[in-house]
Structures are given as structure tokens and as C-alpha cells.
Amino acid sequence: MIKNSASCKQRGVGWKSSGQLETRYSLMHNIPKTNQFVVAALYQFISVDDIELWQKKLKDICTSCDLMGTLLIADEGLNGTISGRCDDMHRFIDWLLEKTIFSAPELKFAVHETLPFHRMKVRLKREIVTMGAKGISPTRQAGTYVSPKDWNALISEPGVMVVDTRNDYEVAIGQFQGAVNPLTKTFREFPQWAEALAAMPEEERPKKLAMYCTGGIRCEKSTALMKNLGFEDVYHLKGGILQYLEDIPQEQSLWEGECFVFDSRVAVDHNLQRGQYALCHACKMPLNADEMKTQAYVAGISCPHCIDKTSAIQRARFAERARQIELAKQRGTTHIGVSPKISKSQKMTPKKVNRKIYKSEKS
């Protein structure tokens, strides 16, 4: 079913339609039941009147639920990725859907063997995904949602331009067949590419656009931009690449390669399992097996992408950081985010570790 994302009007906290109740049940039911860590990626475009108040509420509930990760809140909505134990995640999602204005988020879950984040941050931002274009609002104007099951048919139509709204380093490790790469290093560069496309002669401009990104947030905002620039037939993949990989069997898939993700997995394959890429901790670029075999690659210090862009002082700092991380591993502790007051002899449950991590962030 195709659904226009801009037409879904939100009401006040406490109002629940039958559709909202069904959505709430579905989202709660989808939380993985596991003894490992649950990771939740979520976003919702919605007008927020008092972002400072919601920042405090989100901080309080995340502390109460022992969650780690980052949430961004702005006048245009909420975006972020958090992790925690199954029961704690259940408490948070129940609160979010029942007690807040963020009652209809795009929400995806994954399972991690270890805690992928080491702090909990709730930050105030001008935008929940930074494009930098003024007057763009997905709540007022956006493209038409296309479900993963209908996506193949859409992008196979003659004359449809398939646009990858992600950054160049993400596109390099995987994309849909025939997709256009705008060659952006950050999402802030996308409006410049879009304006150049809109400035093309009428007979050369694409008549229909199909846009996608990792989880849906960037393509949702980019469709609002394209509509604002005068494109009429603009579509975007509901739930993004990750939902497509989850829903579409590999033998029917038009996806090629792996999908970059913004956590310790670096990339996932078509089965949403950890892929073949690693991350350079100096420049944050994904690295394939061949790049990790080069002389430029030194774990935690440099890679072919950054060896010529960093100074000897910077590399020395990276080396010291890598050494401290390795020492922490040998002690059985976590180098990042854990209070230095924690003794290596302390035996802590995951929840106690989480509370210590949060306190170190506050200090």
C-alpha cells in the first residue's frame, strides 16, 4: 500500500485512534525477546513546541531504563539510536508511544552481543537530520511512501531516476541497481545536487524520482526538498534499505553489496548480519579486506583514506588511544564511557555498568 507521509496528521498526547493502537501493538510486538542487547533506531518528523522540556523527559526515561546511545531533538522531530536490555527497551518504547507526542515513529530493532554504545546523550539540534536547506518540512510536504514489496516494480519502470540520498562512502559499499550517486560527502551537500537537477531543461529533467536511504529519514526529508523544487512525482522507500533487506528475499532483491550502518557493525549483508567491512577509527571510513592489507592501514591509527590527511601528532594521539583500548580489554573493562573510579576487580551486572557509564557522562 502506498501512503503519503505528509498527510499523516499528529494529535495531542493521550489521543489514540484504532490505527495508532494497532501500530503501538505492532511496534511493541516487534521488540526482540533476547538476553543480548536490543538496538532501536527511530525517528519521527513532527512539530515539537518545547524541545528543552522533551530533552529533559527523554534524559530522565533513558536514565531510568539504563539505555545508551544518542537521541537528537529539534523543532522538526526526534531521531536517534539507543540500546539496552529487552525489558528496559520495552519500558522505553511503551512510554514513547503512550506518553509522548512521538506516538508514530519509524522504528527498527536489532540484536547485539555487546553494548554498542557507551554513553547516553540527548542533544538539542536545529534539525534531526542536517540538510541545511531553509523552509523544508516533511510534515507539510513530502514524497509518497512506497513499501519494500512495491519498490522493485517502481525502480524498474522506464524513465524513473533512482536516487541514493546517502553519502558517497556509504554508496561505495552497496546500492540499488541503476541508482544515481549524487557524490555527496555530507547530507548538507545534497541540496546543491538537487538544485542542479531542478535547473536542467524541462525535456532533460526526470519525470519521476524514487529516493532511498538507510532507514528512511534522509530520503523522507530529501523528497520534501524535491517537491519544493518543483518535482511532482517523488517517491521514497518506506523504512529504507534496512526494511527492504528484511522484507525482500535475496533471490528477488535488486540490492547489490552491503549496507553501511552507524554502529559497531559498520555494515550488514542481505540477511542483516554483520558484513565484511571494518571501520577506520581515525577517519571513520569503512574499509574492505584489501584496504586493510595495505601498508597505510594500522588498526586505530590510519588507513588509505586518511594516511595523507593526518599529522604525526594526530597519529600519535590515535596510537595512544588504541593502546588504552587494548589495555582496557586486557583488564576486562571498557575504555570509552566508563568512570575511571570503577575498579577492575568490581563485578558488575549490565545494569550497574550502564549506571556507571551514565554517571561518567554527567560528570
Instruction: Supply the residues annotated as catalytic.
Output: 213
Q: Which of 24, 69, 81 is nearest to 217 (CA)?
A: 81
Report which DSSP code applies to 43: E
Distance CA 237, CA 212 (A): 5
The pairs formed by 244-247 with CB atoms below 8 angstroms and a separation of 24 or more are 244/148, 244/151, 244/212, 245/270, 245/271, 245/272, 246/148, 246/272, 247/147, 247/148, 247/149
Can you give 108-174 as a three-state secondary structure string? EEEEECCCCCCCEEEEECCCCCCCCCCCCCCCCCCCEEECHHHHHHHHCCCCEEEEECCCHHHHCCE
Yes or no: say if 145 and 4 are a contact pair by the CB < 8 Å rule: yes
Report which DSSP code applies to 342: S
C-alpha pair distances (Å), 228 with each of 24, 52, 135, 222: 32, 30, 9, 10
Distance CA 301, CA 122 (A): 29
Q: Strands 208-212, 160-164: parallel, antiparallel or unpaired by DSSP? A: parallel
For residue 293, report the phi and psi dihedrals to the nearest 5 degrees: -95, -5
Going along the chain, which residue ranges are E strands? 3-4, 37-45, 68-74, 77-84, 106-112, 120-124, 144-146, 160-164, 174-176, 208-212, 233-237, 255-257, 259-260, 267-268, 278-279, 286-287
Yes or no: say if 169 and 288 are a contact pair by the CB < 8 Å rule: no
Distance CA 77, CA 137 (A): 10
